[in-house]
Structure 1
Amino acid sequence: MPTRNTTDVIVVGAGVVGAACAHYAARTGLSVTVVDRGSVAGGTTGAGEGNLLVSDKEPGPELELAQVATALWRELAERLPPQIEYEGKGGLVVASDEPGMRALRDFAARQEKAGVTTREVPADRLHDLEPHLAPGLAGGIHYPQDAQVMPAHAAARLLRAERDRIRLRLGEEVTGLLTDSSGRVRGVRTPAGEIHAPYVVNAAGTWGGAIAELAGVRLPVMPRRGFVLVTEPLPRVVRHKVYAADYVSDVASGSAALQTSAVVEGTPAGPVLIGASRERVGFDRTLSTEVLRRLALGATALFPALGAVRVIRTYLGFRPYLPDHLPAIGPDPRAPGLLHACGHEGAGVGLAPVTGRIVAACLTGAQPPLDIHPFRPERFTERAV
């Protein structure tokens, strides 16, 4: 059990990634203190939809992360209480015309070579999967491995499952990193005092760049704002995560401009979640009626029945974006004792368990579950000024 001021590892950030890092570190026998200026899942995690996706990822390092994470989430669903609302419902990506369908077909073929399970759905069979889909679509690709969790509950349960080895210090902002005479990170400073540990994990999400700066290293994490609409509770109008083909290109884009693409999914509790938008506007929390209008139009184009449904609320969050679209995971040689686990953009919930497993392996000298070289923090080599 960690003491008030000394522990084996400090995790900065109580979102789902930080919770997973703490969970897997604690399972190795380490004592962990999780520090967050807010509450558990009080940042990006609480504004997420809980997507666990392989369908939106090009073959390469991020897809490899997602494939390991998919198996870990299934394991967690068996081990953790049902409140995480794990649902292996699968995804359906649809095309509006034949050129779009050809592009989906080519994308799925590349993914299959990388081990993803896909199934082409011709236009006349789309309604077998989604009876309320709009007519006239050219077809789609079904991804049975896609799933969903309730992200805030998942974060809380990951922490609670190892509560004998995890101490939470919420409402405490990390204002500095402690170092020894050699420059090695040895803990953190908060308004409540110092906490000492041989390792600090930067799982601060969109604010991960600010934590890195405290160690004098550059990690160019930027916020990418997104909105979600939430409808009134409904019978199961939408059975899968359903999205338009242009969502994949939006995810991969580095543009700062506003991008919207239709993403619609039901939840076990009844409400339908409607996204997705992306734009880099800093931490501006201003409600954008133009974004909400575009999201509503995109959703009703896919599911006309939603046109008669009330939206009961909307919320926004900030995805932690890194310029090469890969997270930073693992030790930072520029600041010994500091590890990073941030920059996952919109995939943080899905990639949380594999990130936690990697961090735990790095802390204990074990073999990570996959090659982590593509995610090395030092690929951003400039030092903070």
Structure 2
Amino acid sequence: MVVGAGVIGAACAEALTAAGVSVTVLDRGAPASGTTAAGEGNVLVSDKAPGPELRLAQASRRRWPELLDALRAELGPRRAEAEWEPKGGLVVVTGVDGIRPLREFAAAQRAAGVTARELGPAAAAELEPHLTKDVAGAVHYPEDAQLQPVLAATTLLAAVRARGGQVRAGVTALGVTRGTSGAVTGVRTDRGTLPCAAVVNACGPWSGDFARRAGAPVAVQPRRGMVLVTGPLPAGTVRHKVYDGDYVGAVAGGGAGLQTSAVVESTRAGTVLIGSSRERVGFDEALRVRVLRELARKAAALFPVLTHVPVMRAYGGFRPYAPDHLPVIGADPRLPGLWHATGHEGAGIGLAAATGRLLADLYTGRAREVDPEPFRVDRPGIVPGEAAA
């Protein structure tokens, strides 16, 4: 049983069914209607420092196009369209003080196998003609990509259904049942108890709540983000995923207060997505005009052409935040049969393909492409109390 039909739950279910496991996916709402629907679809290596998350991102970047090609062959192109775009990314700084940190970060990534090409202002302008003239330096990341997150999740779920699995929307998971041995025997829901041999907690920002109800709490909290969407613009206005160098610091930051940085990218429909913001405000869904205003101001500073472009809409969502900024992937040693796939924060779309594969490899005992140790559930800071020790 996979609880959560967002892109992480969908990726886990797809990988498990590909390995021959019988799977049912539950979600209290419609599939891909939570955090996944509020995402930008980023598949990034550019924003991750060398370490376990970057290795997971690299594995996922390799896997996404292969997986989508395989699903198109299995399901047909109409049922497996995720708008995959290997457009590349461009990270820029507009002050000379930012050049050295940008170069040092890129050098460390190159040592870890990332393609990161340092550019001067003129070369950056060739890639993005509408970029501000104040650019002092840039790094081009050709491996960065983008897909449409809802389409990606529904494609994965279509494969689950085609292989005999079930996807049940409108079913709220309330906890688990245990047998005499203490292991999971089912999931308690508002529609009754559903028997299973194992349950995957893929509830995103709500993973902490489900884990607590299951009797095995984990320290995953919601962290809110907001995005602006412009009206359609001429093709080529924004050609890559472009963001200011301070975005990397915002991603790695752990403060509860508001953090914003300029992140700009186009979609196939011609609209431009503008982010990004991060703040821990619980599950408060109120739109904050000051956040939207700051996003618009920073985006216009990066791309002056956007100054008078109308904003079509704004949306926000909650991301699953783990204190050490690493996903939680694997079996819970406190409760046999309980598994977790959560804590990806804003990188869930990009990390989903490798996360699903890793969880399925662990569940079936296959060889793993990525070392699971850094993502284990019982690491310090994730499990409260003595279990972490």
- TM class by shorter chain equals over 0.9
Deviation (angstroms), 1:192: 1.2
Instruction: Measure the CA separation in 2 of the matches of 1:260 and 1:18.
Output: 28
In structure 1, distance between residues paired with 2:230 and 2:144? 22
Work out the CA distance in 2 between the residues paired with 1:165 and 1:32. 8
| 3-state secondary structure, aligned to 1:353 | helix
Q: Which amino acid aligns with 2:92?
A: V
Cα separation, 2, equivalents of 1:77 and 1:11: 21
Question: 2:336 & 2:212 partners in 1: Cα distance?
Answer: 14
Is 1:75 aligned to residue 66 of structure 2?
Answer: yes
Q: Is the counterpart of residue 283 in structure 1 residue 283 in structure 2?
A: yes
Deviation at 1:324, TM superposition (A): 0.3
In structure 2, what is the equivalent of residue 298 of structure 1? 298
* Structure 1 position 382, deviation (Å): 2.2
| Aligned partner letter, 1:27 | A
Partner of 1:7: none
Whether 1:258 and 2:258 are equivalent positions in the alignment is: yes
User: Post-superposition shift, 1:191?
Assistant: 1.5
8 A Cα contact 1:37 1:173, kept in partner: yes
**Aligned match of 2:43:** 52
Residue 143 of structure 2 corresponds to: 145
Check 1:294–1:251 CA distance in 2 against 1; reply closer, same or farther (3 A cut): same
Distance 1:196 1:363 in 2: 18
| Separation (CA, whole Å) in 2 of partners of 1:166 and 1:235 | 42
CA RMSD of aligned residues (A): 1.1
Instruction: State how far apart, in whole Å, the 2-side matches of 1:87 and 1:177 are.
Output: 40
Q: Which residue number corresponds to residue 181 of structure 2?
A: 182
Distance 1:191 1:89 in 2: 43
> Take 2:164 and 2:150, find their aligned partners in 1: how far apart are those partners?
20
Unaligned runs of 5+ in 2: none
Counterpart residue number, 1:39: 30
Partner Cα distance (2:61, 2:174) in 1: 35
Of residues 47, 55, 64, the one that matches 1:64 is 55
Residue matched to 2:375: 375
1:30–1:165 CA contact under 8 A, matched in 2: no
Farther-moved stretch of structure 1 (180-189 vs 309-318): 180-189
Q: Corresponding residue for 1:26?
A: 17
Does 79-88 or 139-148 show the bigger shift?
Answer: 79-88
What's 1:203 paired with?
202
Query: Residue 16 of structure 1 is aligned with which of 1, 7, 14?
Result: 7
1:218 touches 1:383 (CA, 8 Å); kept in 2?
A: no
CA contact (8 A) 1:217 1:383 kept: no
1:29-57 CA-partner distances (Å, limit 9, x unpaired)? 11100000001111100000000000000
Matches of 2:122 and 2:171, distance apart in 1 = 56
The structural deviation recorded for 1:83 is 2.3
Matched with 1:90 is: 88
SS, match of residue 156 in structure 1: helix
Deviation at 1:339, TM superposition (A): 0.6
1:114 Cα offset (Å): 0.4
In 2, are the aligned partners of 1:277 and 1:291 still within 8 Å (CA)? yes
How far does the alpha carbon of each residue in 1:157-192 deviate from its partner, in whole angstroms, 9 at most, with x for none? Answer: 011023232201110100120111121112201111
- Cα distance in 2 for residues equivalent to 1:264 and 1:313: 15
C-alpha distance in 2, partners of 1:70/1:34? Answer: 25
Q: Distance in 2 between matches of 1:381 and 1:31?
A: 29
Please show how residues 198-277 of structure 1 align to structure 2 within 5 Å.
198-236=197-235, 237-277=237-277
Within the candidate set 153, 156, 169, 1:155 is matched to 153
Query: Higher mean Cα deviation, 11-20 or 161-170?
Result: 161-170
Report the 3-state secondary structure (helix = DSSP H, G, I; strand = E; otherwise coil) of the residue aligned with 1:377. Answer: coil
Count, aligned residues: 375
1:217/1:382 contact within 8 Å kept: no
Query: Corresponding residue for 1:115?
Result: 113
> How far did 1:136 drift?
2.0
Task: Report how far residue 383 of structure 1 moved.
Answer: 5.8
For structure 1, the 5+ residue unaligned runs are: 1-9
For residues 187 and 365 of structure 1, what CA distance do their matches in structure 2 show? 22
Q: Is the 2:160–2:166 contact (alpha carbons within 8 Å) kept by the matching residues of 1? A: no
- Deviation for aligned residue 1:215: 2.3
Partner Cα distance (1:32, 1:77) in 2: 20
TM-score normalised by the chain length of structure 1:
0.96
- Aligned to 1:261, the other structure's residue is in SS state strand
Specify the code of the residue in structure 1 equivalent to 2:316: L
